[in-house]
Amino acid sequence: MYEMNRAYLWFMQVEFTFLGTGTSQGVPIIGCTCEVCQSENEYDQRLRSSLLVKAGGATVVIDTGPDFRQQCLRAGVQDLDAVVFTHEHKDHVAGLDDIRPFNFRSRKDMPIFATSRVQDALHREFKYIFEADYPGVPRVRLNQIKEDAFAIGDAKWWPLPVMHHRLPVMGFRIGGLAYITDANQLTELALKRLEGVDVLVLNALRREPHLSHFTLEEALEWASKICARQTYFTHISHQLGLHESVNAELPSGVALAYDGLVESTHGEGLD
């Protein structure tokens, strides 16, 4: 367990909902006949990874993948104050167009928080959003993520720089919650900011080695080192196995997340 200066801690309730816990193709995969993809257990049916966070009086979504519309309808999301992006891969940004109903309800541009690299990708992939003067186009206001904390509502969001093979990705710590997806390396800054975290969410793709994602074994090793009260694994492939079987293998305080899981933390946050 890492040491931490307690003077930098503060308390804030954070509620979060797993909108999706699957990998880039989701689970089940089109045309796949494996036991996971054929499972009738709802916990084995995973939309693309995304998290809804309520903290500091604001409702924020981390990543808008291809299933974003379906996820918001399923979770009954009525209002959204901001979107935060981890990185630019399509399974994390493809649903950005579906912020339009939130624009309509709020009569405001949607604040988007992303690194300069991700912003460049959004300009390429959604050129019409930034260039078209046309009714009904999504309205956004870009905010750049660097390495310093930024505020959404009354909550501080601390970036957690990680690596997805050679691609820089941002995880985030909000109060006692830390969320990291699409990573196979944690930076020293990320580890420092994970000290004392209450709930850790970490990607665990499958059992076999992968170029750019943690395996189940690697994720378990990091969970043991970081030592959060509760760790959830997300960004899960059908190759990992059945939810019920894998969950039975995991130690106390570690579990597979599933779509629709709602949790909260009153844990200590950074200040």
Q: Digits of tens for pLDDT over the chain (271 positions)?
A: 333 444 344 678 999 999 999 999 999 999 999 999 999 999 999 999 999 999 999 999 999 999 999 999 999 999 999 999 999 999 999 999 999 999 999 999 999 999 999 999 999 999 999 997 778 899 999 999 999 999 999 999 999 999 999 999 999 999 999 999 999 999 999 999 999 999 999 999 999 999 999 999 999 999 999 999 999 999 999 999 999 999 999 999 999 999 999 999 977 788 7
Judge contact between 109 and 139, C-beta under 8 A: yes
- What phi and psi, each to the nearest 5 degrees, are found at residue 113? -110, 120
In angstroms, the CA 248 to CA 103 distance is 43
| Residue 183, CB-side half-sphere exposure with 13 Å CA sphere | 25
Q: Which class for 19: exposed (0-12), middle (13-18), buried (19 or more C-beta within 10 A)? A: buried
- Positions of E strands within the chain: 9-11, 14-20, 50-55, 58-62, 82-84, 110-114, 140-144, 150-152, 155-164, 167-174, 177-180, 185-186, 199-203, 230-234, 254-256, 262-265, 268-270
Judge contact between 174 and 201, C-beta under 8 A: no
Domains recognised in the chain with CATH numbers: 16-24+46-255 (3.60.15.10)
In this prediction the pTM is: 0.94
Neighbours of 149 (CB within 10 A): 17
